Amino acid sequence: IQGLTDLGLMSNLLPGYMTLPNEAEQDFDAYIKARAPQALRPNQLSYWSNYKKFHVSFMKSWWGDAATQENNFAFDYLPK
C-alpha cells in the first residue's frame, strides 16, 4: 500500500523504498553493489544510482554522529 514504507511499516523496506540487507549482503559494500544499478550505456542516468548517498543520508538521520565512514555508516546495526 502506498505510504506504508514512508511510515516505516513494511518489514522488508526501510523508509524511502530502500530495502533491508539480506543474509548474502553481510557488508556495506556488497549491499550497495547489489542495490545501486550500474549504467548500461555511456552517460546513462538513473535515480537509483544514488542509492549509496540515499542510504548514508538515511543512516545519519537515524544514528547521527555515530554513523561514520569508519563503521560503514552503522550498517551492522541493520538486521540481515
pLDDT value at residue 3: 72
Q: What is the pLDDT of residues 31-70, one digit of tens each?
A: 999 999 988 999 999 999 999 999 999 999 999 999 999 9
Whether the predicted pLDDT of 6 surpasses 80: no
Place 1 in a pLDDT band, splitting at 50, 70 and 90: low
CA 68 to chain centre: 15
The residue segments making up the domain with residue 57 are 13-38+45-77
Residue 61 located in a structural domain: yes
Whether the predicted pLDDT of 7 surpasses 80: no
Residue 3 located in a structural domain: no
* Number of domains within the chain: 1
7, 13, 41, 43 from 31: Cα distances, Å: 23, 14, 23, 24
The secondary structure of the chain as a DSSP string is: -TTTTTTT--TTEETTTEEPP-TT--SHHHHHHHHSPPPSSTT---GGGGHHHHHHHHHHHHHGGG--GGGGGGGGGS--
